[in-house]
Amino acid sequence: MLSFKHDIPTKLYFGEGQIKRLAKSLEPFGKNVLFVLGGGSIKKMGLYDEVIKILKENNFNITECDGIEPNPRITSVKRGVKLCKENNIDVILAVGGGSTIDCAKAIAVGYYYEGDDLWEMVKTSFRRAKALPLVDILTLSATGSEFDAGGVISNLDTNEKLGAVYTYPAVSICDPTYTYTVSPYQTAAGSADIMSHIFEGYFSRTMDSDLSDGISETILKSVMKNCKIALKDPTNYSARANLMANSSIACSGIPEYGKQETGWPCHAMEHELSAYYDITHGVGLAILTVRWMRHILNKDASATERFVKFAKNVMGLSGDDERALAFAGIDALENYFKETGIPMTLTELGIDDKHFVAMAEHANIGGYLKDAFVALTNEDIVEIYKACL
């Protein structure tokens, strides 16, 4: 078990009706609020009107920054920072999924960024000392942005999608009923995203960090169970609540405490897919994950022990032949993804091999995936991409 630091200052209000905490959560920071939101989904479900009503009743001054994209873009970050400066913003309120919250984080630190080019800020990833305070209301169980300091911003001009460390939300309001209207496709994709956050740390050489592994296995099993329930019964509170609680912990770093860092290879590879083709992040992750698993298990037999643990403790399989069991666990995972309706090839998404070499180079910048659970070369990554066709 390795050393770790735990330092998550975010306050979570979890459960139906927690929006009652909104005004008091914003109040300590000031009256001028930048209201960051995505497309129309929060308007359709009535949440937009509810937020505006609460803000007006409590005499907040509202500046809206709407239209934040899935895979949020640097152009939106620039627009948000400009609005903050023009309107003397005291606090940012992000209402939406991970993309909206990620963008709001970049705006929060971008406000204090002293350089000329905010894309440079994204490229030099570290936790910023100064940021505008951020409160969010979560509407999608997926990225875990409500309980971590990270964010991912895309630049369509350069075909880049980069994760960076920004700032923790001060308060996250997590009401599972806001996810009742999430489509089956996005429910499945969000669940795959949660699971990928676990896979990235679970597949590690550290075998004795019991709590991390137990939390990881619990989340994987719970997501698979509750995603299926939510697909059949979208307003099942218990299923939506479990998915939401799992999403917050999965990306918090907690499931990796005490474990060797892995470089998050599937996220590195998927960010290239999203950067080039603007696909749904969780879908790209699901497609890549099972091919990555098979590739590394074929490449390095010493990975078998960890895959057997996964097959037994997560997928509920058993058997005497360890190699067969390890591969069976991956097959079972692929079947689960298929059952949830995720298209499981890049071909179905209209992606061919045209950019695979360039994407592999960028995914493995500086060759840093040599420190992954099983080391990956650029050639490995191209092979994994090809296996996804």
Binding footprint of a second copy on the chain (CB under 8 A): 1-18, 208-211, 213-215, 217-219, 221-222, 225-226, 237-238, 241-242, 245-246, 249, 257-258
Reduce the DSSP state of residue 35 to 3 states and report it. Answer: strand
**Closer Cβ to a second copy, 208 or 233, answer by number:** 208
Q: Closest by alpha carbon to 26, among 57, 72, 69?
A: 57
Shortest separation between residue 99's beta carbon and a second copy, angstroms: 23
3-state secondary structure 216-273: HHHHHHHHHHHHHHHHHCCCCHHHHHHHHHHHHHHCCCHHHCCCCCCCCHHHHHHHHH
**Closer Cβ to a second copy, 25 or 289, answer by number:** 25
Q: Closest by alpha carbon to 93, among 148, 14, 53, 34?
A: 34
**Closer Cβ to a second copy, 7 or 116, answer by number:** 7
Shortest separation between residue 147's beta carbon and a second copy, angstroms: 8
Shortest separation between residue 309's beta carbon and a second copy, angstroms: 13
**Closer Cβ to a second copy, 92 or 171, answer by number:** 171
Reduce the DSSP state of residue 123 to 3 states and report it. Answer: helix
**Closer Cβ to a second copy, 78 or 221, answer by number:** 221
Cα-based distances in Å from 278 to 7, 61, 214, 358: 33, 34, 34, 16
**Closer Cβ to a second copy, 160 or 217, answer by number:** 217
106 close to 164: Cβ distance less than 8 angstroms: yes
Shortest separation between residue 248's beta carbon and a second copy, angstroms: 8
* CA angle (312, 315, 321) in 5-degree steps: 45
Shortest separation between residue 211's beta carbon and a second copy, angstroms: 5
Reduce the DSSP state of residue 141 to 3 states and report it. Answer: coil
**Closer Cβ to a second copy, 113 or 168, answer by number:** 168
Shortest separation between residue 197's beta carbon and a second copy, angstroms: 14
Q: Closest by alpha carbon to 275, among 160, 106, 124?
A: 160
Q: What is the DSSP string of 291-306?
A: HHHHHHHHH-GGGHHH
Shortest separation between residue 246's beta carbon and a second copy, angstroms: 6
Shortest separation between residue 97's beta carbon and a second copy, angstroms: 20
Q: Look up residue 170 and give its two tokens.
A: 């001060």
Phi, psi of 288, rounded to the nearest 5 degrees = -70, -40
**Residue 322 CA neighbour count, 13 Å, CB half:** 10
> Any bridge partners for residue 96, and if so which?
138
**Closer Cβ to a second copy, 16 or 339, answer by number:** 16
